[in-house]
């Protein structure tokens, strides 16, 4: 099999979109273009594609936050699956991360991808799940939840403390593409596409105030790290329900995060 793997450059979004749209059954190509452009803002050399006879058949991306890296958008066009393409892409990514002295690698694994990651030594951490919020059953009285235009030092510090690494490039990349930020005393939330997250909050009250405000603005989906039992209890109590669940996994040194402050993650691909 004459396969070549190389880094995708700016302007090559169609290669990325072709693979991801078929592998994940996503029809919105404009959304995939936007995601690809965000990916390269976060990690300019981080998206790779596998080619057979000049046609893209597989893809995978990585994002480095200091000693921590995230892997996402791993996929192979269905008719080319089970030929070792995903294995080759993952090997290439892991070699890149090893050469760059990354200590910990994390990802969110689908059921299809789980066996591959286990083969490479990734271990389970906790489930992450998309929740839909059709309505807010129990409203809190909240004050001073405001919209801000950028990631200020206070937001950056809150995120760093909870997430355990500086991912300001990822947050800023989303904002550059139209995402909004809600901020209040003790927490913040990023709003993008139809999704709420991350939500970083000192406690349930702050988290619910942020989620309520996001809901009022039309946002209905949120990805909960189910290792935070308080977050699960909160989202369930206000009317959210899980529609898709996958597994967070890691390889390498244990990454220290403040999971009790993370009420929603950024996304499956970037943490």
Task: Quick: pLDDT tens for 196-206.
Answer: 999 999 999 99
133 and 16 both lie in a single domain: no
In a domain, 120, yes or no: no
pTM score, two decimals? 0.95
The secondary structure of the chain, three-state, reads CCEEEEECCCCCHHHHHHHHHHHHCCCCHHHHHHHHHHHHHHCCCCEEEEEECCEEEEEEEEEEECCEEEEEEEEECHHHCCCCHHHHHHHHHHHHHHHCCCCEEEEEECCCCHHHHHHCCCEEEEEEEEEECCCCCCCCCCCCCEEECCCCHHHHHHHHHHHCCCCHHHHHHHHHCCCEEEEECCEEEEEECCEEEEEEECCHHHHHHHHHHHHHCCCCEEEEECCCHHHHHHHHHCCCEEEEEEEEEEEECCCCCCHHHEEECCCCCCC
Domain of residue 237: give its range: 129-264
Task: Quick: pLDDT tens for 142-188.
Answer: 989 999 999 999 999 999 999 999 999 999 999 999 999 999 999 99
Number of domains into which the chain is organized: 2
98 and 133 both lie in a single domain: no
141 and 79 both lie in a single domain: no
In a domain, 155, yes or no: yes
């Amino acid at each position: 099999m004459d396969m070549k793997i190389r880094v995708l450059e700016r302007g090559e979004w169609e290669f990325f979109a072709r693979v991801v749209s078929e592998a994940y059954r996503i029809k919105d190509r404009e959304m995939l273009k936007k995601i690809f452009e965000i990916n390269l803002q976060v990690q300019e050399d981080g998206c790779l594609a596998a080619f057979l006879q000049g046609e893209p058949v597989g893809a995978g991306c990585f994002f480095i936050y200091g000693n921590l890296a995230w892997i996402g958008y791993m996929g192979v066009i269905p008719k080319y699956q089970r030929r070792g393409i995903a294995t080759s892409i993952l090997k290439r990514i892991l070699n890149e991360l090893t050469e760059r002295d990354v200590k910990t690698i994390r990802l969110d694994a689908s059921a299809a991808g789980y066996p591959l990651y286990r083969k490479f030594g990734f271990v389970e951490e906790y489930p992450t799940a998309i929740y839909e919020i059709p309505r807010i059953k129990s409203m809190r009285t909240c004050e001073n939840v405001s919209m801000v235009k950028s990631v200020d030092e206070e937001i950056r510090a809150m995120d760093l403390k909870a997430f355990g690494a500086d991912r300001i490039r990822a947050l800023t990349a989303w904002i550059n593409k139209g995402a909004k930020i809600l901020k209040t005393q003790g927490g913040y939330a990023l709003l993008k596409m139809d999704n709420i997250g991350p939500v970083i909050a000192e406690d349930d009250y702050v988290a619910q105030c942020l989620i309520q405000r996001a809901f009022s603005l039309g946002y209905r989906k949120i990805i909960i790290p189910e290792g935070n039992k308080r977050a699960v209890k909160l989202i369930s109590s206000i009317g959210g329900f899980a529609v898709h669940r996958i597994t967070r996994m890691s390889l390498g040194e244990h990454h220290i995060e403040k999971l009790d402050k993370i009420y929603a993650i950024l996304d499956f691909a970037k943490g």
